[in-house]
Structure 1
């Protein structure tokens, strides 16, 4: 058989080998483009897409944009029980191994690392470790459990947050101190619901927390507050004064078992006054602590949820 025939046969066989997704992508990709706009403007558009929908349209109209700035837009970014990150786009779920891809993610709905492991071996840096792989986080919902995050990382993840749950997740300043809760809330202007589980060893609640929360311009727009394991430092007198003005019915307060008997006595006197003066037409906060009778808890629940 001639060498020409051999080459032709090899070419035919090669054409039958399935191409990888990347190879198929590059078949119709052109490095050089004829733009109607100056290259400098195209470069700026390429590197600074205004939002995920604009970026999606760009890469759909021309592969050049994805090749030069490879970003995958996802609805949800979550982690499973085996500590494997999973990205979801329109109900299509894929596990992500960042050691094998260079593409970054743009998250625009949910960021979720919550309640998958209760063991002491649960790494505290799972969230921090993937932040370099995130191009932008526009998530409106966030759930984070048992992590340690820097203040700058928190700001990066929460620029568009409306609903957030933080459980035993201290946010740290560069000097190693814990960022107060009120400072976090101040940086969340779109916030609607705030659920927070404090920690005795790394509490972000201070004696000034409530007073400073009340001074935040968007405080009144937050429709749900659920605070758990609240320490005795929480200013219950300021809270009760504000409550009597009829402005804190959206609070659910669960106090730590470590609070003193004197503090419990004051809480119970507040609960008694609430039960004596409120009726089912009134919205009221829920207050719970170790030692409050079941009867009073049930009455408070009825007032709170009705």
Structure 2
């Protein structure tokens, strides 16, 4: 039997009879397959039987998985497999089958992950983003670098939301809107609440979905869940009530049609469906066994018979509202004091400055601070929106004059003979509030680095192969850098030093970010309190993931490094989603 006994035991008698007939047909095909019948013929027969059943009844996921796995097991040619999977996916989608839990990586390894695009062009908004949403686009988490994050990915809660926001923010050409950031923060807070309710009270889970205030999000998550548990009558009814309340009549009637082709003996619901079709129909349905009140391929011919006279009244536009509004406006009879304007300009953040500059050229004339959201190096010089791309040979004075850097700095070392590119830009900057900073093989003084990070809002700092020293030509202590990074989540540091106070200093610092990627290329200096350092990690790690790599200078105290390795190893062994490497730099 393909359908589990637990599932069969809860089916209605009429539906179970249809299932038994389907199972018998599939069994006979497998028996015949043992007697020199070609694999291709078997595949065709299996498909015909399942599709025939699916034209009359809502079909459980087990049959789609059975059919698709048969193709993966027996098909040799890539294009044939891809074509077959597309065919299955297109029909299965209507039957609430999302292919989230089956071994999708197996299809990917066969080179056919993109067959899941057959589910439709729309972006399906489910909370299991990396399992479902990535499958929609044919990507998996390990293939994340190929995925282009859009605003849509930040407007609903899912398990990859924080990474999507970082990617979106670091690749943007202008500042993300305040409205979008507010929405992202709300969804970030809502995600763990929805996940926590998944295995509990279904009504509580459903109400949390409603808090997202996104009809498509509710639809996609409920249908995904129903597809994995068609017997959840409570969720079916909650969903139908939601669709009716939101006036999603097409989806409402389609959902009724699916329910009534699964719960075949629920006559009360069938009557309810009929009444809804009278009030809110008609719609075209692809079922073969249509009820007398449903319509199929002859939809246009029968539509006129079905429709009743539209008696809905249209509200008249009250012109008095407009007149009352304008009569309430009064002219401004005072002017700003000049000192107030200067105070406003001097203390405004970059969001306010953008609005002031856009509202009147007077403000820019009084404070000429061009705003650059994204600064990067490349082989070409380009300017797009607030994104400035420079070559290593570019002259900073031609592009910067009291410039305000606000979002992203991404400087690669394109010229090994010019490692002071970032340093040469800093004198032409007014202020820096970049949240994402990536510097490769640059030479910076500590004062220059402080100029870039002292605002305290950096979430992603990657300093790779750089020389950063103080005025005494010494490496900077770890605690002296991290005190400027209270919100950092991704941190890569080059050569740094530790002191006897490093562990205690870190443990005492106020920290608001949740570290999930921490890498130090070479550590010099003195041993420190390993337990205090561990306390810092414990208190400030991301609970979902932590990756750390710490490499010590070969001359560092070997006994301490061994002790530090043991402390970190014990912590790693006692925590899931934690990967820590401690070693000497070769």
**TM-score with structure 2 setting the length:** 0.36
Does residue 56 of the first structure (1) align with residue 354 of the second (2)? yes
Q: Secondary structure at the match of 2:396?
A: coil
Does residue 181 of the first structure (1) align with residue 474 of the second (2)? no
Between structures 1 and 2, the one with greater helix share: 2
Change (3 A) 1:222 1:234: farther
Q: 2:209 maps to what in 1?
A: none
Does residue 109 of the first structure (1) align with residue 407 of the second (2)? yes
Q: 2:339 maps to what in 1?
A: 40
Q: d(CA) in 2 for partners of 1:174 and 1:286? A: 33
> Aligned pair count?
247
Q: d(CA) in 1 for partners of 2:467 and 2:461? A: 14
Q: 1:70 maps to what in 2?
A: 368
Contact 1:75/1:87 (CA < 8 Å) preserved in 2?
no
Q: d(CA) in 1 for partners of 2:458 and 2:540? A: 23
- CA displacement at 1:178 relative to structure 2: 3.3
Counterpart mapping for 1:1-306 below 5 A: 36-46=335-345, 48-80=346-378, 89=385, 97-100=395-398, 103-117=401-415, 119=416, 121-123=417-419, 125-158=420-453, 159=455, 160-198=457-495, 203-218=496-511, 221-231=514-524, 233=526, 235=528, 237-238=530-531, 242=535, 250-256=546-552, 258=554, 262-263=558-559, 266=562, 270=566, 274=570, 278=573, 282-289=576-583
- Unaligned 5+ segments in structure 1 are 1-33, 292-306
Contact 1:103/1:133 (CA < 8 Å) preserved in 2?
yes
Q: 1:3 maps to what in 2?
A: none
- CA displacement at 1:141 relative to structure 2: 0.8
Q: Secondary structure at the match of 1:197?
A: strand
- Unaligned 5+ segments in structure 2 are 1-332
Q: Secondary structure at the match of 1:184?
A: helix
Change (3 A) 1:87 1:157: farther
Contact 2:372/2:404 (CA < 8 Å) preserved in 1?
yes
Higher relative contact order (CA 8 A, sep 6+): 1
Contact 1:150/1:174 (CA < 8 Å) preserved in 2?
yes
**TM-score with structure 1 setting the length:** 0.63
TM-superposition CA deviations, 1:41-73 (whole Å, max 9, x none) = 223333x15111211111222112222322221
TM-superposition CA deviations, 1:2-35 (whole Å, max 9, x none) = xxxxxxxxxxxxxxxxxxxxxxxxxxxxxxxx98
- CA displacement at 1:136 relative to structure 2: 1.5
